[in-house]
Amino acid sequence: MVIICPHCQHEHTIDERKLPANVTTVRCKTCKKLFEIDKQNQSQSDTAPPDEKTGPRKIAVTLSKGGVGKTTTAVNLAAGLALSGAKVLLVDTDTQGQSSFMLGVKPKAGLTEFVNDELSLDETMIPVRDRLWLLAGGKSLAGLKRVIDRKDFGGEMTLNEKLSSIDKQFDYVIVDTSPGWDPLIVNVLFYVQDVLTPVSLEVLTLQGLVEFLKSMSSIQKYNKEVALKYILPTFHDKRVKQSNGILSKIEALYGNHVCTPIRYNVRLSEAPAYGQTIFEFAPGSPGAQDYRDLIRKVANNPNLFT
């Protein structure tokens, strides 16, 4: 059984056979606080396969700080899950719209037109790879932010209301976000279940992670389902002492949430120029290997791609 501390979100694996029947409260080894064991603390979303009853796994790739590899991670995570056999929807909520560029497509419409009911789903959601579809972002999202701001009530549920009408067609919905903290980020956090945070191994990004988690805690008061699930160290260079030191600090603080680091790899920066994922551009590169490890962790299947 996997339970999650409601205070620090640390995951704990417990052998139910060794747990006395009358025990209802446990102490977190990470934050040392007591919490009750109940069904809400049991992590089922990453062990139960997606189906029509439970709906898709909805994962936001987000951090307030820019330049940490959010879009690279969102695109390669979505593409890798599709390669594993899952049906995946990639939603781009970034005004830069770089997901489209990285996948080598130029959509004429996307998320804004779908949410505003300006165009149909068939006109806005495009297939970009086998089992992978895209709702593109771009400059038009600035207008969507204004629409959300003008709502007197329920603006934070705008994305949830629209995407929930289509997401059961998929096994995974991966949401790419922009840097900063704006109405669209808030909307994303009211829609998804899991948060994947890429963290480049530098001091300023570590501070950005702390600030982001504080902001996310304000959302968790109203959306109990959203939680930090994965921290993905990026731009890892073993030759740099500071990089290794920050990685050790993150692992000590966040334990099982920390994924296998994405090593610094020039192929990851070259692939977008060709409109290809890392699996297409350099499938044998360290970057491809590391993102396969991420996909195995997210899918909870260590046998993928073997």
Per-residue pLDDT at 204: 82
pTM for the model: 0.82
The region of weakest confidence among 102-116, 215-229, 232-246, 287-301 is 232-246
pLDDT tens, 244-269?
888 888 998 888 899 999 998 999 99
Lookup: tokens for 305 = 């791609």
Cβ neighbours of 39 (radius 10 Å) = 7
Per-residue pLDDT at 52: 46
Domain boundaries, the chain: 1-43, 48-299
Per-residue pLDDT at 154: 87
CA angle 124, 129, 132 (to 5 degrees): 65
Per-residue pLDDT at 15: 55
3-state secondary structure of 126: strand
Whether 81 has a pLDDT exceeding 50, the answer reads yes
Handedness of CA 137, 138, 144, 149 (dihedral sign): positive
Q: State the chain's mean pLDDT as an integer.
A: 87
Q: Does domain 48-299 have CATH number 3.40.50.300?
A: yes
